Amino acid sequence: MTHSLISPLSPLDGRYAPLVADLAEVFSEHALNRTRLEVEIEWFIALTEHGVAGTQALDASTQSALRALVESFDQTEAAALKAIEDTTQHDVKAVEYYLRGKLAQLGLSHYQELTHFAATSEDINNLSYALMVKRSVHTVWLPAAKAVQGELARLARLWRSVPVLAKTHGQPATPSTFGKEIAVFAHRLGGQIARVESCDYPGKYNGATGTYSAHQVAWPDANWPGISQKFVEGLGLRWNPLTTQIEPHDGQVQLFQALQQAGRVAHNLCTDIWSYISMGYLRQTPVAGTTGSSTMPHKINPIRFENAEANLEVASGLFDTLASTLSTSRLQRDLTDSSMQRTIGMALGHQLVAWKNILRGLGEIDIDADAMDADLEANQEVLAEAIQTVIRAEIVLGNSRIDDPYDVVKGLTRGVRVTPEAFHTFIEGLDISDGAKARLLALTPQRYVGLADSLVDYLEG
């Protein structure tokens, strides 16, 4: 049976393919082979620049022609490479043979033996994956995450003054503003985005066990660590001088942990938005032509956030497995990392689906200020905290002789509904100063939001 995108095994290649198309450009099997070719070509050029084996540096036009091979590596060229791999049964060796053929076409047959010179497959693969991960994060992941964070910041400012009943342990608690609560998520996500941006991408090019043994015996006059460092850093990566056959992946592990935590923050956002919709604090905007339920026509289901939840959970599991597996390699090399790294694109892909669903979902909701206000009005007892705290301050000032203010207010409010009239009567009878009474009598749940509005100003950007 011939595989096609109409019968994909993964939803990333089927249902979600349009959402991850930009990721596939930089993280796919085709992208991997294109990047391997890029690394092989850059190493070839570097060797000639350093005069290895008596070579002469290539002129600018020849270098451009070599680098153009990467730009022109289309599906036809990928198929030609795959035909070579069918014979070699080794993917990196196939890239080497493919490049050898291209060198012959460019009149560089006399330099063919510099292709993959003194290299192990992992010299090519570790740099290729580092480049693909870096490009994926910087060109796809970060823009998608920042779009969500930016929309959250916009909504936080828009709704900064709208009072809302807070819920701690699922129970009515000290009110806040809806904008401030959204600002918390914008701030949290911004912190994780900064953490991802701070990650670097290590790479190595030092041979079969990280000793430059073949390099040194073949051309002992060269400063191989210096050549390696210049080469790796020239690719925009951080050079790792001490490795086994593999680059130990610690940089990738730190990145995956940062990506995972960003996803967990987003997951928490989704569950809270879902809850606010369920409570009626948020309403969803109907989209023409869509169906909420196959049997209940009235429904608008919060599917964007539910879909994002699921995809974030898949991504989190993959990132966790990647981080734990890539942290270990037996002695100087085993092959578990090779298979494991093939799932990096899946983890990034599921998070990308989530980011795009969250962004779309945020654009399809609005607050129901009336519902929020009604809930605040029905829960006057949340003012109990304010009353007992004012009494405490009055006692310290010498304006009150009330014994155990917490217990006094608890007796009035715990587990019961209290009317504004009952509160006013209670406050009028308190042994506190007239100024303190005036502040409490003017208080309502809607006004008991502290500095929530101004706290939104702590959002950056």
Rounded to whole angstroms, the Cα distance separating 9 from 440 reads 63
Q: What is the dihedral of CA 403, 405, 407, 408, to 10 degrees?
A: 90
Helices (H), 331-416: 336-341, 344-362, 369-377, 384-397, 405-413
Q: Which residue has the tokens 């009005």?
A: 377
Is residue 169 part of the annotated active site? The answer reads yes
> Which structure tokens are listed for 406?
């917490």
Beta strands in 226-384 (DSSP E): 238-239, 282-284, 365-367
> Which structure tokens are listed for 36?
């391997």
Neighbours of 244 (CB within 10 A): 18
Rounded to whole angstroms, the Cα distance separating 389 from 294 reads 52
Annotated catalytic residue within 3, 169, 298, 339: 169
Annotated catalytic residue within 293, 324, 327, 454: 293
DSSP secondary structure letter of residue 166? E
Backbone angles phi, psi at 302, to 5 degrees: -80, 55
Specify burial of residue 16 (Cβ count, 10 A radius: 0-12, 13-18, 19+).
Answer: buried
Beta strands in 119-180 (DSSP E): 163-168, 171-177
> Which structure tokens are listed for 127?
């740099």
Is residue 267 part of the annotated active site? The answer reads no
What would you measure as the largest C-alpha separation in the chain, in angstroms? 101
β pairing state of 238-239 and 202-203 = parallel
Contact 234, 41 (CB under 8 A): no
Contact 206, 179 (CB under 8 A): no
Q: Rounded to the nearest 5 degrees, what angle is found at the Cα of 142, between the Cα atoms of 459 and 290?
A: 90
Annotated active-site positions, please? Answer: 169, 293
